[in-house]
Amino acid sequence: MRRDYELYAPLVRTGGLIAFHDIRPHPKNPEVEVFKLWDELKASNPTAVEYVTEPYPGYYGIGVIEKVEA
């Protein structure tokens, strides 16, 4: 997932959106670790928006960031 982001993000224009799915830990599929990358991006990007179903089922979610100028 990290490599996908590193390859794809430079192709997105400033102001464009980058979306991720399955951004929360999944207890039945611990090998899905998108949440690690998402948590890093969310902490360093003030445009990050997270959509998670409430009540939280323990997995899934959508995360969106806006690409800002470097």
CA distances from 39 to 13, 31, 62 (A): 22, 16, 12
Q: How far apart are CA 39 and CA 24, in angstroms?
A: 9
Query: Up-side HSE of residue 25: CA atoms within 13 Å toward CB?
Result: 3
Q: CA 47 to CA 56: how far, in whole Å?
A: 22
Q: Which two tokens stand for residue 39?
A: 């948590």
Residue 65 is inside which H or E element, if any? strand 60-66
6-52 pLDDT, tens digit per residue, is 999 999 999 999 999 989 888 888 888 899 999 999 999 999 999 99
What is the model's pLDDT at position 35? 92
